[in-house]
Amino acid sequence: MHTPFIVALDFPSKHDVQQFLRPFSGTPLFVKVGMELYYQEGPAIIAMFKEQGHAVFLDLKLHDIPNTVKQAMKGLARLGVDLVNVHAAGGRRMMEAAIEGLDAGTPSGAARPRCIAVTQLTSTDERMLHEELWISQPLEETVSHYAALAQASGMDGVVCSANEATLIKERCGASFLAVTPGIRFADDSVHDQVRVVTPRKARALGADYIVIGRSITRAADPLAAYSRLQHEWNGGETE
């Protein structure tokens, strides 16, 4: 099993990432490669992380017609990543197609990458949901509904705020993964996130994995920030 700490490597280039990772040398991490880095560096950056022994979450949040998602996932499975994602808003058939593509692209003998669905972005609040997206249900119920739809479509779990993890576990069962971004230390800036939770609270609420970017990557001492994350996840207080 991988470490529960997924570090979001939101950097513009391989050079910047290498500089950030230098103090961690020798520590196998669970890294997240998102649009910013992948669109610049492509599959080679995934191969580099795998060679260095890191687990990889390739976060491209696919959301398109079923056939396009299926064919794209076939290619992503060949990269040997551990985790990928889609937007649950793409609907049941799209999510089923994502799994079909992953099954078809996974090399024989290898494990299929796990696939999770974004319920509602952690930058979304209740007002946005109603006034901009025109979703009339309460946010928590919407997240819970999307999680149930994702599960019925064959997903391995969801991306949600840790605030919703308990609800999702009650509805979908303990083994359905809750991967939770929007993680902040109590004294951190929230930036563009809205539904934020501390590492310690995220664990108490039932998160399986926490995704954390700027609180580590922009910290004055990233290694110390990563240690603080482990400490707080394990129930420790920070002065």
Ligand X SMILES: O=C(O)c1cc(=O)[nH]c(=O)n1[C@@H]1O[C@H](COP(=O)(O)O)[C@@H](O)[C@H]1O
Instruction: Give the nearest distance from C-beta 108 to ligand X in angstroms.
Output: 29
Q: Cα–Cα distance between 153 and 94 in angstroms, integer?
A: 9
Q: Cα–Cα distance between 151 and 168 in angstroms, integer?
A: 10
Q: Binding site residues for substrate, as ranges?
A: 10, 32, 59-68, 122, 184, 193, 213-214
Instruction: Give the nearest distance from C-beta 198 to ligand X in angstroms.
Output: 12
> Which of positions 57-76 make contact with ligand X (CB under 6 A)?
59, 61
> Which residue number has the CB closest to ligand X?
213
Q: Cα–Cα distance between 167 and 173 in angstroms, integer?
A: 10
Instruction: Give the nearest distance from C-beta 148 to ligand X in angstroms.
Output: 18
Nearest by Cα to 234 from 4, 2, 27:
4
CA dihedral 218, 219, 221, 227 (to 10 degrees): -110
Nearest by Cα to 117 from 79, 144, 81, 78:
144
Residue 169 or 209: which CB sits closer to ligand X?
A: 209
* Residue written as token pair 């191969």: 47
Give the binding-site size for ligand X (rule: CB under 6 A). 19
> Which of positions 3-22 make contact with ligand X (CB under 6 A)?
8, 10
Q: Which of 193, 198, 225, 226 binds ligand X (CB under 6 A)?
A: 193
178 CB-near residues (< 8 Å, 6+ apart) = 157, 158, 160, 162, 164, 165, 168, 169, 206, 207, 208, 209
Q: Cα–Cα distance between 154 and 151 in angstroms, integer?
A: 5
- Alpha carbons within 13 A on the beta-carbon side of 103: 8
Active site residue 50: no
User: Which stretch, 126-134, 198-206, 209-217, 224-232, contacts ligand X (CB under 6 A)?
Assistant: 209-217
Instruction: Give the nearest distance from C-beta 105 to ligand X in angstroms.
Output: 21
Asked if 140 contacts 162 with a C-beta cutoff of 8 angstroms, the reply is no
> Which of positions 108-127 make contact with ligand X (CB under 6 A)?
118, 121-122
> Which of positions 85-104 make contact with ligand X (CB under 6 A)?
85
> Which of positions 164-183 make contact with ligand X (CB under 6 A)?
181-182
Neighbours of 226 (CB within 10 A): 20
Selecting among 50, 61, 74, 201, the annotated active-site residue is 61
48 φ, ψ to 5°? -65, -45
Residue 2 or 104: which CB sits closer to ligand X?
A: 2
Instruction: Give the nearest distance from C-beta 68 to ligand X in angstroms.
Output: 19
| Residues within the interface to ligand X (CB under 6 A) | 8, 10, 34, 59, 61, 85, 118, 121-122, 159, 181-182, 191, 193, 211-215
Residues identified as active-site? 61
